[in-house]
C-alpha cells in the first residue's frame, strides 16, 4: 500500500506547488560551468590584451624619447644613441635570441675560405677543448662607445688580427664579411624567430654601431663597396648585404678547413647537451644552419619531419612570447661590470664549459645548475683554475699562445676614442689618428 497523502499533511484536493517559496529563491546558487567558462574567457582575453599592450610600451617610449619617429630622422643617430638602442634590444627585448644570433654570426664566418684557413692553422677554434672560450669576442653592446672597456675590446680584436692582416692571410674583404655577419644576423634572427622584428630604429642602430666598430678596425669600405658614406644604418646594412651575397658565392664552399671547423663546432654544440637530447639537437641545428652553410660544412640535409617540428617549436615560442608573456622588468646581462680592483669581468652564460664563470651559490646550486649536474654537465668551479673562474682580462681573449700578450696595445686603446666624438653620427668621415 502506498503512502497516503494524509501522512504528508497534504489533502488530495490541494494543488501541488509548482514554484519554490521566496526563501529558496533568495539562496545564491554556485555559478554554473558556463559562468566559470565565461570568467575564464574574460580573464584570458584580459591577460592577453595586457601582455600585448605592455609588450610594445618600452620600445615606443624609447622611440619617443630619442625622437626617431620616421626614416628621415635616423640619419642623425649618434654612436652613443646607436649603442644604447642596441643594448636595450639585447638586454630587455631579445636577450636569448640576440645572444644566439651573435653566436650564429661567428659560425657563419667560419664557413668561408680565408677565415677557416687562418683559424685552423693558428687558432684554438679547431680544438674542441679550447673552442668554448671564444664566444666572448662580440660583446660590444655591454659598454658605451667611449668607455675604456669598449675601446679595449676593439684594440684587442685589432691586436689579434694584425699579424694575419700583415701577412695577407686575412684580407680587407674578410674583415668586412665578419662585420656584416655580426650586424645582419641579429636583424635576421629577430625577423624570423622572435616575437617581433626589429623596428627601423633598432635596425638602423645595429647597422650604425657596427659601422663605427668597422671604422675602428680600419676596414676600407670604399675598396669593397665603392663608397664610404651612407644616410643611415639601414642603407649601410642593405649595401653590405648585397655585397656579402657575392662574397659567399665566391668563398663559402666545402674546403677542407671549413669542414674541419664544422666538425669541431658541431661536436661542441652536441656535447653541451645530455646524450639523450643530442640526436634531436643535431637535427634541429641542421635546420637552422641553412642550405649554404650546411653545404660548406659538409652537413647532411634534414628531413621534412624535423624541419616542420623545428619551425613549429619556434612558432609556438614566438606566439607565447608575443601574447602570453609580460615584458622583462629587469635587464638580462651575460657579462659583469669590471671588478673595481682587478678589472676582471665574469661571463655568466656558457654552453659546454663555464669559462670565466664565478662559482657562486646560484651557479652551483640554483635550478639551472641542478639541470646541468643531473645530465653530467660541468659547473663553475668544477675544474678549479683551469677555466679561469676569477674572470678575464682583455689580454686573456684569443688563442692560448697569445694569452697575456698585447698589454701595450690595450693600454693605448684610448686613442681610438679620439677618432670620433660620442655625439657624432657613425656616417661622418672618421678623423685620422
Residue 195 domain flag: yes
How far apart are the C-alpha atoms of 237 and 146, rounded to whole Å? 23
Query: 385: which DSSP letter?
Result: T
How far apart are the C-alpha atoms of 28 and 12, rounded to whole Å? 33
How far apart are the C-alpha atoms of 206 and 309, rounded to whole Å? 31
Q: Specify whether the CB–CB gap between 95 and 332 falls below 8 A.
A: yes
Residue 39 domain flag: no
pLDDT of residue 37: 79
How far apart are the C-alpha atoms of 379 and 373, rounded to whole Å? 7
pLDDT of residue 431: 56
How far apart are the C-alpha atoms of 109 and 299, rounded to whole Å? 16
Residue 128 domain flag: yes
Residue 369 domain flag: no
pTM: 0.86
Cα end-to-end distance, the chain, whole Å: 117
Query: 320: which DSSP letter?
Result: H
pLDDT mean across residues, the chain = 85
pLDDT of residue 13: 47
Residue 427 domain flag: no
Where is 247: in which H helix or E strand?
helix 233-251
How far apart are the C-alpha atoms of 176 and 346, rounded to whole Å? 29
Q: What SS3 string covers the chain?
A: CCCCHHHHCCCCCCCCCCCCCHHHHCCCCCCCHHHHHHHHHHHHHHHHHHHHHHHCHHHHHHHHHHCCCCCHHHHHCCHHHHHHHHHHHHHHHCHHHHHHHHHHHHHHHCCCHHHHHHHHHHCHHHCCCCHHHHHHCCCCCCCCCCCHHHHHHHHHHHHHHHHHHHHCCCCHHHHHHHHHHHHHHHHHHHHHHCCCCCCHHHHHHHHHHHHHHHHHHCCCHHHHHCCCCCCCHHHHHHHHHHHHHHHHHHHCCCCHHHHHHHHHHHHHHHCCCCHHHHHHHHHHHHHHHCHHHHHHHCCCCCCHHHHHHHHHHHHHHHHHHHHHCCCCCCCCCCECCCCCCCCCECECCCCCCCCCCCCCHHHHHCHHHHHHHHCCCCCCCCCCCCCCCCCECHHHCCCHHHCCCCHHHHHCHHHHHHCCCCCCCCCCCCCCC
Residue 139 domain flag: yes
How far apart are the C-alpha atoms of 428 and 405, rounded to whole Å? 33
Q: CB-based contacts of 201: which residues, under 8 Å, 6+ apart?
A: 62, 63, 66, 68, 74, 85
Q: CB-based contacts of 306: which residues, under 8 Å, 6+ apart?
A: 280, 283, 284, 286, 287
Q: Specify whether the CB–CB gap between 302 and 286 falls below 8 A.
A: yes
How far apart are the C-alpha atoms of 371 and 375, rounded to whole Å? 6
**How far out from the chain centre does Cα 249 lie?**
26
Q: Which residues pair with 347 in a beta bridge?
A: 335
pLDDT of residue 86: 95
pLDDT of residue 323: 93
pLDDT of residue 2: 45
Residue 98 domain flag: yes
Host domain of residue 326: 53-335+405-418
pLDDT of residue 252: 95
Nearest to 148 by CA among 340, 313, 292: 340
pLDDT of residue 20: 53
Residue 37 domain flag: no
The torsion defined by the Cα of 7, 9, 13 and 18, in degrees rounded to 10, comes to -110
Please state the domain count of the chain. Answer: 1
The count of C-alpha atoms lying within 13 angstroms of the C-alpha of 116, restricted to the half-sphere facing its C-beta, is 25
Q: Residue ranges of the chain with pLDDT lower than 50?
A: 1-17, 23-24, 29, 132, 135, 433
Amino acid at each position: 500500500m502506498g503512502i497516503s497523502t494524509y501522512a504528508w499533511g497534504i489533502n488530495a484536493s490541494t494543488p501541488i506547488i509548482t514554484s519554490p517559496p521566496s526563501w529558496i529563491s533568495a539562496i545564491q546558487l554556485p555559478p554554473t560551468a558556463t559562468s566559470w567558462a565565461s570568467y575564464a574567457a574574460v580573464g584570458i582575453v584580459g591577460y592577453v590584451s595586457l601582455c600585448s599592450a605592455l609588450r610594445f610600451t618600452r620600445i615606443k617610449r624609447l622611440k619617443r624619447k630619442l625622437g626617431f619617429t620616421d626614416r628621415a630622422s635616423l640619419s642623425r643617430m649618434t654612436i652613443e644613441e646607436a649603442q644604447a638602442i642596441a643594448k636595450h634590444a639585447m638586454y630587455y627585448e631579445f636577450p636569448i635570441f640576440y645572444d644566439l644570433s651573435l653566436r650564429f654570426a661567428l659560425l657563419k664566418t667560419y664557413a668561408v675560405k680565408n677565415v677557416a684557413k687562418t683559424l685552423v692553422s693558428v687558432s684554438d677554434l679547431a680544438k674542441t677543448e679550447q673552442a668554448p672560450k671564444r664566444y666572448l669576442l662580440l660583446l660590444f653592446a655591454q659598454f658605451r662607445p667611449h668607455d675604456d672597456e669598449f675601446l679595449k675590446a676593439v684594440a684587442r680584436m685589432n691586436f689579434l688580427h694584425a699579424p694575419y692582416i700583415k701577412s695577407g692571410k686575412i684580407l680587407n674583404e674578410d674583415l668586412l664579411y665578419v662585420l656584416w655577419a655580426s650586424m645582419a644576423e641579429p636583424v635576421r634572427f629577430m625577423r624570423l624567430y622572435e616575437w617581433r622584428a626589429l623596428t627601423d630604429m633598432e635596425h638602423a642602430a645595429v647597422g650604425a654601431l657596427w659601422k663605427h666598430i668597422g671604422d675602428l678596425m680600419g676596414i676600407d669600405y670604399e675598396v669593397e663597396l665603392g663608397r664610404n658614406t651612407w644616410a643611415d644604418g639601414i642603407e649601410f646594412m642593405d649595401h653590405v648585404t648585397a655585397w656579402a651575397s657575392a662574397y659567399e658565392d665566391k668563398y663559402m664552399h666545402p674546403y677542407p678547413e671549413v669542414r674541419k671547423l664544422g666538425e669541431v663546432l658541431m661536436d661542441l654544440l652536441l656535447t653541451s647537451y645530455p646524450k639523450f637530447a643530442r640526436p634531436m639537437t643535431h637535427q634541429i641545428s641542421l635546420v637552422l644552419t641553412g642550405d649554404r652553410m650546411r653545404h660548406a660544412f659538409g652537413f647532411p640535409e634534414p628531413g621534412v619531419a624535423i624541419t616542420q617540428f623545428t619551425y613549429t617549436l619556434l612558432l609556438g615560442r614566438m606566439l607565447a612570447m608575443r601574447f602570453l608573456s609580460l615584458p622583462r622588468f629587469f635587464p638580462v646581462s651575460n657579462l659583469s661590470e669590471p671588478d673595481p680592483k682587478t678589472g676582471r669581468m665574469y661571463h655568466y652564460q656558457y654552453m659546454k664549459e663555464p669559462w670565466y664563470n664565478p662559482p657562486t651559490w646560484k651557479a652551483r646550486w640554483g635550478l639551472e645548475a641542478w639541470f646541468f649536474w643531473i645530465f653530467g654537465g660541468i659547473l663553475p668551479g668544477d675544474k678549479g683554475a683551469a677555466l679561469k673562474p676569477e674572470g678575464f682580462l682583455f689580454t686573456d681573449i684569443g688563442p692560448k699562445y697569445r694569452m697575456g700578450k698585447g698589454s701595450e696595445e690595450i693600454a693605448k686603446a684610448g686613442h681610438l676614442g679620439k677618432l670620433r666624438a660620442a655625439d657624432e653620427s657613425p656616417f661622418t668621415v672618421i678623423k685620422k689618428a
